[in-house]
Structure 1
Amino acid sequence: MTERQPLPHAVPGAQPEAVARGYDPSGVRPAASGTAPRPSAQPYPAVPRPAPAGPGKPTPAGTRAAAPLDPADRHRLLEGAHHDPHALLGARPAPGGVLFRTLRPYATGVAVSVQGTRAELADEGDGFFAAVLPLPAVPDDYRLLVTYDDVEHQVNDPYHFLPTLGDLDLHLIREGRHEQLWEALGARPMTHGGTTGTRFAVWAPNARGVRVTGDFCYWDGTGFPMRSLGSSGIWELFVPELGEGARYKFEISCPDGSRVLKADPMARRTELPPATASVITDSHHIWRDQDWLDHRARTAIHEAPLSIYEVHLTSWRPGLSYRELAEQLPAYVKDLGFTHVELMPVAEHPFGGSWGYQVTSYYAPTARLGTPDDFKHLVDSLHRAGIGVIMDWVPAHFPKDEWALANFDGAHVYEHAFRSEHPDWGTLEFDLGRTEVRNFLVANAVYWCEEFHIDGLRVDAVASMLYLDYSREAGDWTPNVYGGREDLDAVAFLQEMNATVYRRCPGVVTIAEESTAWDGVTKPTDTGGLGFGFKWNMGWMHDSLEYMHHEPIHRKYHHNEMTFSMVYAYSENYILPISHDEVVHGKGALVSKMPGDWWQQRASHRAYLGFMWAHPGKQLLFMGQEFAQGTEWSHDHGPDWWLLDETYAAAGDHRGVRDLVRDLNLGYLATPSLWQRDTSPEGFSWIDGNAYEDNTFSFLRYDADGDPLIAISNFSPVVRHAYRIGAPGEGVWTEVLNTDSLRYGGSGVTNPDLVKAEPVPWHGRSHSLLLTLPPLATVWLRPA
């Protein structure tokens, strides 16, 4: 994309106010005092400037000086604190004709070209130029001829245009029901009144005035004050001839008289961090994923396979852009058989070490990897490979960076006035009881699904939103109107977000990271539930990892940690997550959580994955764990891909685990009993959940037609010969997966022959199977 050069609204070499204050408003570095950036080229053509008719003799005849501005209005315009600059600037009827007035700081002269004539405007000082022309009515079209350093430029007058937002937009914003808010606010290239340019609109309800500034005016926004659109709190300005690539921010006059320079909350593109300016952009991507969207819309995801590969895009293959990732990630994920990827937060964030969980620009994909269209290309490529895309979304809190959402217009706008600080993360909590804030976030959820074709939103830190006393001591929180600890505003917000997303975006799923026993997380909103499609099963994750952490000799004392999940398995719709949170901050990688020597660790790792894939609930695995990476994840260098090199292939250490994950996914996809009745108790039955002395677990999974699969895990390091388990009637069974297979790096203890059910009652069943259980392994069997 070609970047636009700065527009000539200030004199190169002069000292604009922003630069004179000693800082660069883009937020990158101090600006050199006494100098202003000089563009290498001008986007407007210079036109010859004819000699004036004579000193004090403007043309056409009858042009006369304008009545001076009211001193108070003049002062407020210069200070950026006027609510209605369009009432003072532009063209309007006046005694004797039409008054033209413009504010062009650092210009040495301004003329107006109208109806084939040219008239010089009188210099009123401080950048104001004005005159009354003898015209019968305000012309539909005119141009300003602005001179800087003896070079004249022809421009449209921003103050000649009607508002770009209509009454319906403003009504929906006031009601908090503008579900496509990004169409109304932010910077949007458009054609308005027959002229191309960019519409700027921002919500700043406490501001005394707002100006748009950027590289197009050398970061001096004096000449671009915005108008207030009444009680909506919206400020708006259409800047003609300004297009994609220009950097901008909003300069806001606060209630206390101070000024702040803020990035656009609705920016759809940003500069590359650590730079902080917003960037004007428009989408040119042509989607080619309609087949995927049609398939998604007609698929009941709770009754479909869902196997998720969690990815941190900037570290999966460090250095790759969105478009380069599109060449590698879909193929890798498809080869391993995962149905979806889950992307850790993609929205722009200033600190890479936050992994994206401290968002400053909720509507902009991070510029670290490319443009918004580049990100669309990645999603499109994944869809065309048959891979769904889930994205982490963070509506619970945001960072305090002074150029972003915090104290946006000098007051608490996006955050709570009295309960803004999050006690754990040093961030601010959204004021979810405020209509416009709720609308900002609900529309943002819709935005990612509609504009970027995202298939699911995994909502981060839901528990921290639901409870007023979350991580707070007594006296640090105020009960709700019923005296309880539930945050009723957060509940209403989550219900509205879920209901809106499901209504507008067919086939999209929402997923809650909710770590408490809140009732009804995945129940419909019309029955009082929060309305999520799935919930992360944090209890299963913590319990099962705790069990695996123990030496096998001690596991019998913790047997219930592996079986307790089935007590509540159908209270919600669950996803079983082994996420990034479990392999950072000293927790170690998944394989390093296992006890014993390296062989036992790998065997336990494989057995655990086999147990996980067979357990009711969808599954999620974080990158690097699919090949038993031994070190915990680092966002600086990502997975240890070198472990898959030929040097390590002979031992089968890491490639074997990767092959197992592939076979787990392929077997999972081909076996409806493993996913079709995940949310129904009829889809599961224990064979023996009490074999604590043996460290074994055996159970049945059933599909909608009653076809079964047997899964049995042996979490002890000994081979169990002639091990009898109950079977669902007569028949012949075959081993379809064994995590101890030689090709996975195991010892090769298998059941190679068909196993016939014997009429020997066992485990309360009329028939039973006699098996050999490999050490530290999981085995799947299906009817032959």
Structure 2
Amino acid sequence: MARHPSRSVGGDVMTKPTSNPTSTPESIPEAAPAAGPRDTHAPGELDLHLIGEGRHEELWRVLGAHASEDGTSFRVWAPNAMEVQVAGEWAGWDGSAHPMTRLDGSGVWHAHVPSAGVGSQYKFRIRGADGQWVDRADPLAQYAEKPPSSASKVWQSQHRWNDEAWLEKRRTSQPVDEAMSTYEVHLASWRKHYSGELYTWDEIADALVPYVSDLGFTHVELMPVMQHPFGGSWGYHVTSYFAPDSRFGDPDGLKRLIDRLHQAGVGVILDWVPGHFATDEWALARFDGTPLYEDPNPQRGWHKEWGSHIFNFGRNEVRNFLYANAVYWLEEYHADGLRVDGVASMIYLDYAREHGEWSPNKDGGRENLEAVQFLQEMNATVYKRVPGIVTIAEESTAWPGVTGPTSDGGLGFGFKWNMGWMHDSLNYVSKDPLYRSHHHGQMTFSLVYAFAENYVLPISHDEVVHGKGSLLRKMPGDRWQQLANLRAYLAYMWAHPGKQLLFMGCEFGQESEWAESRELDWWLLEHPEHAGVHAMVRDMNTAYKASGALWGRDNEPSGFQWIDANDAGANTFSFVRRSPGEPDLVCVANFAGNPHEGYRLGLPSAGRWTEVLNTDAESYHGSGVGNLGAITATEGEHHGQPAHADIVVPPLATVWFRKEDGPA
């Protein structure tokens, strides 16, 4: 059976950790009991208790800035601060005008400012445990100034959602059993104005929604849209985890984009970065004069490969900040899933560290037990609260049970990126066809472990940047051969067990390597050979969604059967995909430079098989070699199958056949 983490989450992973390093320095006195009537703008006792326990799943509703008819209430967690003020434009950035009050033993500070309203800019002015005054952006800000400015802004959403039909369908969905082809997008470089200015959220929606809908992708995956100061980080060095990127406009613009995608039948996955955060001095680093959000142990708190701070996963309130943030994007922005960046860097203490640069855990191992607990807590929480969503781990090792249920000790993700398939298959197709026969196993090895986890097959931004070249340029041969290889590879990928993810530009054969500073080479679509790749991807997505055999049992061995895995001499692979009640689909991929005439192919049953996709079709700028739309299989065993047909397999092409008269 395919594994559904949402069916197995439970309280076992949500137990209170044994360590909670939240002791307050002796120099900072606890707040005295408030005299007189209680401040009605302050958070309630239950909220403060849950914050102190690290158990508040709706943290954004309590902390941060909250506007009302009589001003704005500001709350911030700074347990080691000696004094905290709200400094804002309404008072000429004079923080002394609005000192904050420390509430009980929670470490939360509060102030109500009648003169602050929606749109007001502010920061928290903090005298930390070291006695130094510093200005900090609000960790729970829901809106931030456009970089390079760094103030937080009071925000109150006015968006009214129109995607109830989508959400109702989502509540009863199980993504592992459904069609899922994802288009990965970096919004800042997908399209730009001629002046180089970024599109706004609404301009992105006007262009992206019809484009993705026409191509037939079921989902888009947006590279991080959380506020980050340096565009060259692509969003992976976050400073405001609850604020969408203000470069594109206000937060309601992102809601409108997601709303419109949902109304068009397209799901939205957000790239999420809980493993590390940016070093900017006005953000989370040493927030209250101590390493509050980051792990104070330099062997655990600093990511030397990425030059960033690592969260303190051993602290209740920090884990709470992060898993509440996951809930926030899924509930407040109606995201359908989170792709969790850099999971391997979180769960191994020795990740990117040499001998002597890390210390074993309490059991003597290299596993980061606190990070594991956090990931289990996060997955358990979001699957409980938001049925039908999915979490996806970018995890590149053999860690067992990444998509296993948390009740069995798994991490509880819905999917894991299949990095092994990606590396092996790209290595194979980069070879000249003359030498591919010696590397045949690189294409078949993935089926040895294909059902050990619920996998996504990723051709992501990481494969077309930093000197790796575009996907098209990885292919050998002249231009015609490169384009043919690209079409054949994509169709093989779409038929392979697992969901698919394709980075923007690959769908039309982007020539140049991706760079975040410029938009895609859209002019290539004026050339018929690139328009052909685009048309093939559209037809492939259409055929994929219509063929339940390709995804109904995507994560079960019974959904796949090799016809011939060993035809290395012909550089050809053939297999069957199947699912109950669905016509079988057969995929034949020929990575040789010549066609195979009279190729005898074993088939699961006799009868008529329709050629539903041929990547060598003339309409895709191919050579037009094919089987006139259908083949007829006759009784007679071949390749271990009960029937067979003699077919034409085009050069550098993949062909799909679907049983015409129902299930085999």
Tell me what 1:720 maps to: 596
Cα distance between partner residues in 1 of 2:260 and 2:641? 49
Give the one of 342, 348, 361 matched to 1:461: 342
CA contact (8 A) 1:82 1:209 kept: no
Give the one of 452, 457, 464 matched to 1:583: 464
Tell me what 1:389 maps to: 268
Give the one of 361, 371, 376 matched to 2:240: 361
Tell me what 1:537 maps to: 418
Give the one of 497, 504, 507 matched to 2:388: 507
Give the one of 331, 336, 346 matched to 1:450: 331
1:126-145 → structure 2 map (5 Å cutoff):
none
Cα distance between partner residues in 1 of 2:382 and 2:420? 27
Amino acid at match of 1:213: A
CA contact (8 A) 2:612 2:629 kept: no
Does 713-722 or 317-326 show the bigger shift?
317-326
Tell me what 1:181 maps to: 59
What TM-score, normalized to structure 1?
A: 0.78
Tell me what 2:444 maps to: 563
Tell me what 1:736 maps to: 612
Amino acid at match of 2:381: T
Tell me what 1:760 maps to: 636
Cα distance between partner residues in 2 of 1:485 and 1:359? 27
1:468-617 → structure 2 map (5 Å cutoff):
468-617=349-498
> How much has 1:163 moved relative to structure 2?
5.2
Tell me what 1:44 maps to: none
Amino acid at match of 1:331: P
CA contact (8 A) 2:227 2:244 kept: yes
Tell me what 2:170 maps to: 296
Aligned Cα root-mean-square deviation (Å) = 1.5
Tell me what 2:541 maps to: 665
Q: What percentage of residue pairs aligned between the two structures are identical?
A: 57
Cα distance between partner residues in 2 of 1:622 and 1:762? 38
Amino acid at match of 1:557: H
Tell me what 2:143 maps to: 269
> How much has 1:83 moved relative to structure 2?
7.5
Cα distance between partner residues in 2 of 1:216 and 1:210? 17
1:675-694 → structure 2 map (5 Å cutoff):
675-694=551-570
Tell me what 1:202 maps to: 76
Classify the secondary structure of the residue corresponding to 2:242.
Answer: strand
Cα distance between partner residues in 1 of 2:33 and 2:95? 15
Q: What do residues 329-349 of structure 1 show as CA deviations (whole Å, max 9, x unaligned)? A: 111100000010000000000
Give the one of 642, 647, 650 matched to 1:774: 650
Classify the secondary structure of the residue corresponding to 2:85.
Answer: strand
1:352 aligns with 2:231: yes
Tell me what 1:57 maps to: none
Tell me what 2:19 maps to: none
CA contact (8 A) 1:186 1:265 kept: yes
Tell me what 1:3 maps to: none
CA contact (8 A) 1:84 1:226 kept: no
Q: What do residues 241-299 of structure 1 show as CA deviations (whole Å, max 9, x unaligned)? A: 42101100011101221111100000000000000000001111000100000011112
Amino acid at match of 2:358: W
Give the one of 306, 312, 316 matched to 1:435: 316
Cα distance between partner residues in 1 of 2:182 and 2:148? 32
1:57-456 → structure 2 map (5 Å cutoff):
161-162=39-40, 164-191=42-69, 196-318=70-192, 319-418=198-297, 419-456=300-337
Cα distance between partner residues in 2 of 1:574 and 1:298? 21
Cα distance between partner residues in 1 of 2:118 and 2:612? 56
Cα distance between partner residues in 1 of 2:648 and 2:318? 60
Cα distance between partner residues in 2 of 1:375 and 1:673? 35
| Structure 1 unaligned spans of 5+ | 1-80, 93-137, 141-159
Cα distance between partner residues in 2 of 1:345 and 1:492? 24
Q: What do residues 80-136 of structure 1 show as CA deviations (whole Å, max 9, x unaligned)? A: x9986997xxxx8xxxxxxxxxxxxxxxxxxxxxxxxxxxxxxxxxxxxxxxxxxxx
CA contact (8 A) 2:144 2:152 kept: yes
Q: What do residues 132-163 of structure 1 show as CA deviations (whole Å, max 9, x unaligned)? A: xxxxxx8x9xxxxxxxxxxxxxxxxxxx9455
Greater relative contact order (Cα < 8 A, sep 6+): 2
1:655 aligns with 2:534: no
Give the one of 501, 513, 532 matched to 1:620: 501
CA contact (8 A) 1:358 1:397 kept: yes
Amino acid at match of 1:716: A
> How much has 1:220 moved relative to structure 2?
1.3
Cα distance between partner residues in 1 of 2:135 and 2:439? 57
Q: From the superposition, tell whether residues 763 and 238 of structure 1 become closer, same or farther in structure 2 (CA, over 3 Å).
A: same
Does 437-446 or 719-728 show the bigger shift?
719-728
Does 657-666 or 700-709 show the bigger shift?
700-709
Q: What do residues 448-492 of structure 1 show as CA deviations (whole Å, max 9, x unaligned)? A: 001000000000000000100001111111111110001100110
Classify the secondary structure of the residue corresponding to 1:716.
Answer: coil
Cα distance between partner residues in 1 of 2:29 and 2:82? 7
What TM-score, normalized to structure 2?
A: 0.93
Q: What do residues 282-328 of structure 1 show as CA deviations (whole Å, max 9, x unaligned)? A: 11100010000001111221111101000111111122100111212
Tell me what 2:513 maps to: 632
Classify the secondary structure of the residue corresponding to 1:552.
Answer: coil
Cα distance between partner residues in 2 of 1:668 and 1:509? 20
> How much has 1:239 moved relative to structure 2?
1.1
Tell me what 1:58 maps to: none
Amino acid at match of 1:710: V
Q: What do residues 558-608 of structure 1 show as CA deviations (whole Å, max 9, x unaligned)? A: 101000110000000001111001010011111100000001000000000
> How much has 1:765 moved relative to structure 2?
2.2
Amino acid at match of 2:92: Y
CA contact (8 A) 2:31 2:105 kept: no
Cα distance between partner residues in 1 of 2:127 and 2:116? 24
Greater gyration radius:
1
Cα distance between partner residues in 2 of 1:473 and 1:203? 35
Classify the secondary structure of the residue corresponding to 2:401.
Answer: coil
Cα distance between partner residues in 1 of 2:278 and 2:314? 19
Amino acid at match of 2:185: V
Cα distance between partner residues in 1 of 2:46 and 2:642? 69
Classify the secondary structure of the residue corresponding to 1:368.
Answer: helix
> How much has 1:719 moved relative to structure 2?
1.1
Give the one of 693, 697, 705 matched to 2:573: 697
Cα distance between partner residues in 2 of 1:302 and 1:525? 17
Tell me what 2:4 maps to: none
CA contact (8 A) 1:541 1:577 kept: yes
Q: Tell me the matched-pair count.
A: 626
Cα distance between partner residues in 1 of 2:413 and 2:491? 27
> How much has 1:230 moved relative to structure 2?
2.4
Tell me what 1:104 maps to: none
Cα distance between partner residues in 2 of 1:753 and 1:161? 75
Amino acid at match of 2:207: Q
Amino acid at match of 2:247: R
Q: What do residues 183-202 of structure 1 show as CA deviations (whole Å, max 9, x unaligned)? A: 110011125xxxx1111010
Amino acid at match of 1:703: S
Which stretches of structure 1, 4 residues or more, deviate above 2 A after TM superposition? Answer: 81-87, 160-163, 758-761
Q: What do residues 671-708 of structure 1 show as CA deviations (whole Å, max 9, x unaligned)? A: 10011110111110000001111100000000222631
CA contact (8 A) 1:190 1:198 kept: yes
